[in-house]
Amino acid sequence: RFKHLPEHAPTNMDEFVAMMKEKEESKDPMFYAIVDKATNVVGGYISLMRIDADNGVCEIGHVYMGPNISQSCVATETVYVLLKYVFNELGYRRVEWKCDSLNQKSRRAAGRFGFQLEGTFRKHKVVKGLNRDTAWFSMTDDDWKESAESCFVQWLDASNFTPDGKQINTLISFRK
C-alpha cells in the first residue's frame, strides 16, 4: 500500500507514531484522518497539499486507504467531503490529483471521482530513488457545479445502497 507514496511503510509502532505525529503537525500538506463512521476506526489518511489560496488551487494527495476502507463508501465519501470543502467553503477554482503514472488504482479512482486527465509529466520527480512519471488530473469549480457534486450526492444517498451496504448504481453512472 505504500509502493506509490513518498514515505516508506513503518516497520514498527514507534515509526508509525512518529510518522503520524509528523503528519499531524504539517500545514502543507494538511493531513486528515479517514474514519469509518460505522466502526469509529481510523482507516487511512488523505491530505490537501500544494495549497495556493491566491490562485484558488490545491491538490488532493498523500492518499492512504487501508484495507478496511479501500474501494468503499468511506473512501468515496472522504473525497466528496474534501471536494465540497474546497469548492463550496473555500471557493477554490481547481483541485488537482496527481499520481505515479504506473499507479492504476489511483488513476482509476481519479477518473471515477470525476477528475479529468490532463496529461503525463515525464520524469516529473524522483521517488524512493526512482524516476517517476506523474499522471496529472484536475477538477475545476465548473466541473464540480455542473456535474461532479450532484453525482456524489446521488451516489451517497441511502437509496443507492442495499441493506447490507452494497452500491446499486456506480458513481460514474450518475454522470450526465
Q: Is residue 2 part of a domain?
A: no
Q: Please check whether residue 72 is in contact with residue 35, taking contact to mean a CB–CB distance below 8 angstroms.
A: no
What residues make up the domain containing 84? 13-158+166-174
The pLDDT assigned to 2 comes to 66
Residue 85: inside a domain: yes
Question: From the first residue on, what is the mean pLDDT of each consecutive set of 10 residues in the chain (176 residues)?
Answer: 69 80 86 90 91 98 86 91 98 97 94 97 86 95 97 97 92 89
Give the residue among 75, 144, 145 at the shortest CA–CA distance from 106: 75
How buried is 146 (Cβ within 10 angstroms: 0-12 exposed, 13-18 middle, 19+ buried)?
exposed
86 within some domain: yes
| 146 lies in some domain | yes
Query: What local confidence, expressed as pLDDT, does residue 121 receive?
Result: 93
Note the pTM of the prediction, 2 decimals.
0.87
Residue 108: which CATH number?
3.40.630.30
The total domain count for the chain is 1
Confirm whether 115 is domain-assigned.
yes
Asked whether residue 34 is domain-assigned, the answer is yes
Element (H, E) at 117: strand 116-127
Q: Is residue 134 part of a domain?
A: yes
- Inside any domain, residue 5: no
User: Burial of 2 by CB count in 10 Å (0-12 exposed, 13-18 middle, 19+ buried)?
Assistant: exposed
